[in-house]
Structure 1
Amino acid sequence: MSTFARSIATRTATWRLCGAIALALAGLLPVQAGAATPRTDLLSGPGWQASANGIDGWIPAYAPFPNPVTMPNPALNPQGVHADLMWYWPGPGTPGPSSGPTTAYFRHQLDLPSGPVPQIVALVAADDELTLKVNGITIGSYVLGDHKMSNNQPEVVAMDLTPALHAGANQIDIQAVDTGVYHWLFFDTYNLAASPQTVLVARTPDTVSLVGDKDDFHGGDAADDAPKSAHVLAMLENLVAAPPVELDQPAVNQSVGLTHFLDLPANAIVTSATVRLRVKMTGDLVQNDVILYNQSATVAGEEARTVIALHDLLGFSPQRGAVYELVWNLAKTPLRNFSSPVPFIGQPDRVADLLTMLQTDQRLDVLTVDDTMVDYSELRLTYTVAGAPVGDLNNDGVIDRDDLNILLLSLNTLASGPDDPRDLDRDGRITVLDVRKLVGSCTRALCAK
């Protein structure tokens, strides 16, 4: 019997298993709360094929759901888990701990329309191992022993299928390996074949940008080769440190660089942006590690100026060997001159609002220096447009708690200009007075959603 804990954008949830493999197919990033429809049944019938050797003998995967033996907890996904379950082996009958071969193969064909490729993120776990490929490119691997929580239960991780996808025909392949008594596979990607316009978050324009894969520092995957702007490449070339490394590689006096590229509408006004960066401190001297960004400049033979100290994002000095999820609010970015005392102490030299920079540059550069290993970087932003109702800060047509939370991220900062939509009272600052004005304009009482 196993319990899954999903650590991505939802509470810990459980799923009871009794000796079989299950593959619940569902889990893309939804555009909005009601975007989980239309659903499509992908696992039963010809949608998924199974084979004992991955070469021939492909037959429709057997996927009864629901049933009294295995049942996914709907809390695994806030949109609900509606897909079928696939047994480890496609034969009929009640699954048991000894059913099926020690290795099984699954595949699924997926056609995507022309145009921007949607960002497709799968939540995966397995007992005991799996390897996920898209169009022959390895996206990631999962080993149960490497993903145990403190209660000894499996942890679900995210893998981004997008780097290997393209318009037209695509094929998803999974190799599942059982090295013990029990065996199962969890793969959560609902609405895989639904319309990207109604269900999926397109990469451009995009309000969620994930660089890397959430696989707990597992190296060698396609997603670990991060996109980089010309500015990032120039900084990497000029930094004094040793040659840079990619995502999921230990950094010892080395840098890791990446870029979140955006394609916002011409009339978009960015109202909030937050980066979540999962890092591991892998060098000896980590107290002086920093992040460089779009406005960090480097020249040959010198260190960068204008940096974001990890000390300021954490509220304390980072420690060697520790793993952190850094949260960087671009509306309140703590900045230091590199000439500041090292290791860093006290308060940053200044706090800056980088939302206008993000909107103008249409990208965010993230470069860690110099003992910081990076698992992934996730940028989430909201924007409104000129002419939107006053207080509608995410352009969803209503004024509710989401808009209030956006405003709170910028509290006690200067407005970006006379037309800043966050400055509701037009006094040049984002203050509690703007909060009160927004609450008074909410569509529902108490800004309920």
Structure 2
Amino acid sequence: MIDPALQEELDSVPDYDRFATVDEIAAALTRLAAGHSRIASLRRVGTSRLGEPILCLTVGGGPRHALVGAMPHPNEPIGGLTVVHLATRLCRDPALLRSTGHTWHIVGCLDPDGTRLNEGWFAGPFTKTRYGRHFYRPAGDEQVEWTFPFAYKRAYFDRVMPETLALMRLIDETRPSFMTTLHNSEMGGAFFYLSRPVPALHAVLRALPGRYGVPLHAGEPEHPSVRELDEAVYLTPRMEDFYDYVEALGQDAAEQIGGGASDSYAARYGTLSLTAELPYWRDPAAGDRSPAGAAYDELIRAQAAHLRETFAVLDGTMSAVAGDLTARSPFIRASRFFVPLLSEMAAAAEQRADEPGNDRPATVAERQSCRETTHSARLRFGGMLLRALEGELAIGNGTAAVRKCTRRLAEVYAAWCAEADAETPGETIPIRDLVAIQYGGILAGAAHA
């Protein structure tokens, strides 16, 4: 399903032993612009909230426009290497550039402030524990990907961040026929989102991970409202659909929803948008559709119980130190956003378990993805709250409550890490393979736009 020309191009991806930092990505794009000034130019298209330049490299002069942005979520750094490789190949191979028929607009890092807070694990070792202890994901209203203007029923959002505004302006300026903001997941198999069905492209996307021994995701979708177009290929979820699903559960959808996403914003220009979700750790169970020996509704109820337990630990910790915190920490802002969502996720899972038809036999992939949801929540959000408390200690705010809660959460967190390693073992996927899958998806997506 992968044509020979694309296969040959995939072989151009070099080996990597680490992910690129914000400074390294900016330096690479700067060198390309200086060395290929006849076809490439670098400009500043925005500024982060902490004053970091947001840079865009434009390459070529094709009649259509392609827009590629790395790291809209700062804990997802595969895209930093992917955009540098894409830009390098387009600058150095005129035949490849002409064959795409596009002018390329490549943003090296959409959230430089947040990405810097993840760089502690970029050089490895690539263990779940190190990842979680250096993890940062902004609160929902501070994420580039989820802060586009949005208005639907009782939900209204217009607090557009400077980083989001930079991407909005690029979309409006270029009206891209193809766009991708580069994401990745953590465990399990690979899967993709498309803003509209493109069957010929589905086949390429499904084939790419297998070339590198990465299984296709066969477990739970990221959200029950997501519609599957093909095996491991999903229709990009609209925030309106998410709102309707949450509202139907009897929950306050307006409280859970912030802004819209980049692909919804670009849809006004007929843009084909692609998202490639790739794991760091390979898990063969992610693609195993054989029976798990348990009922699906039982797995969902067990997941709900684990999420409630996790919520109780983290919420109890936050309540115990609420009056003692002094730092204006992005880690505590993120914790205040994500920890309550664990309770909402548990409630949604409990209701879903009672839906007709969910007493069916579960697959191994579904069981594994339920476990991964629990472990991901613990390692991500427990790790961020620990970083928030350690930050308080680092500035001398060692009150009795802060010291006690830091020590207790660290002990619980160590147990969570050990359980995650035992229940969701995974082999670290070579970074080169992940970059190649993203790179191939970009070239195939642009060809089918």
Establish whether TM, by shorter chain, passes 0.5: no
Q: Which has the higher strand share?
A: 1
The structure with the largest alpha-carbon Rg is: 1
Query: Larger relative contact order (C-alpha < 8 A, sep ≥ 6)?
Result: 2
Please give the TM-score of this superposition, normalised by the length of structure 2. 0.27
Q: Which has the higher helix share?
A: 2
Please give the TM-score of this superposition, normalised by the length of structure 1. 0.27
